[in-house]
Amino acid sequence: MENDAPKLKLGILGLSEGNGHPYSWSAICNGYDPEAMQRCPFPVIPEYLGKRRFPEDAIAEATVTHVWTQEKALSEQIAAAARIPHVVDQYEDMIGKVDGILLARDDAENHLTMSGPFLRAGLPIYIDKPLALSRREAEKIYLCQKYEGQIFTCSALAFAEELMLTEDDRAALGSIGRIECSTMKSWPTYAPHIIEPVLNLIGDQGAITDIHVTRSPEGMVAVEVCWETGLETCFSALGAHTKSIEIVVIGDRRLKRLVFADSFSAFRSALQAFIDIIRKRREPISRQFVMTVVGIIESGMRQE
């Protein structure tokens, strides 16, 4: 641990429908109780945790000390599974007791309300994707910051190594003209999982010149985004269709298919990035990047 600094104490907020992050993120910091974790309603979490070694694979610099959810019994279940010592009745009760906040809910409509007390208190906060469903709402959240970089928000898949290109990949691909990517489930909550890794892949492509949205009665959404350089990107959320999260990068020489496979490593890397920003070892994710992500999400939700 750098300069023998004490562990950061983190508070975690949950739980939104279909989102097991309070279990997994807390376990990545604290380790976990295998028997209690078996009662986690998301079987994939104890499955991938069971493939890791603890405490060796845990984050060394932080511990989750406080948890809140909308149900006391649920909070106590998460606390038992992820060895969290304190359950609070109101999430504001964490202020003054922790060094940072993990807002581990992806119901973006509640992010402004839930993040507000912590932002006003000056606590760094990791807000799960998407930050907001509109640029206007995102700006309202940023206005609550006490200092630049107080908000960390991302899809953990932006840190997934299997969704990145190596220099050898880029050389083999040649000039990249189009990227097609897809995810299961709903556009508002799952689109960031493909948008953010792609934005990291393409770097600065200038302004967005055109966006076209198509949707099916079954809930599938496809958003075509054209960039100033001529690059085309297509982001698709496939609704109830079961499918791996994947990115297909099409160059003028060949294509490369990138498939997401390692939830634990992605979550761990994202949590470590948040800690590194708090420790001043890493630059915050730029607001411009976040607003570009939110803008594409917002476009996909408009009725055309």
- Of the pLDDT bands very low, low, confident and very high (cuts 50, 70, 90), residue 303 is low
43-101 pLDDT, tens digit per residue, is: 999 999 999 999 999 999 999 999 999 999 999 999 999 999 999 999 999 999 999 99
Residues in the chain: 304
6-29 pLDDT, tens digit per residue, is: 999 999 999 999 899 999 999 999
Residue labelled with tokens 């770097």: 203
Q: Which residue, among 264, 265, 216, has the nearest Cα to 241 in the 3D structure?
A: 216
Considering the chain, tell me which residue range(s) the CATH 3.40.50.720 domain(s) occupy: 2-156+264-286
170-195 pLDDT, tens digit per residue, is: 999 999 999 999 999 999 999 999 99
Considering the chain, tell me which residue range(s) the CATH 3.30.360.10 domain(s) occupy: 161-261
Does the structural domain 161-261 have CATH classification 3.30.360.10?
A: yes
How far apart (Å, rounded) are the C-alpha atoms in residues 273 and 275? 5
The answer on pLDDT for 270 being more than 90 is: yes
pLDDT of residue 217: 84
pLDDT of residue 3: 53
CATH number for the region 2-156+264-286 comes to 3.40.50.720
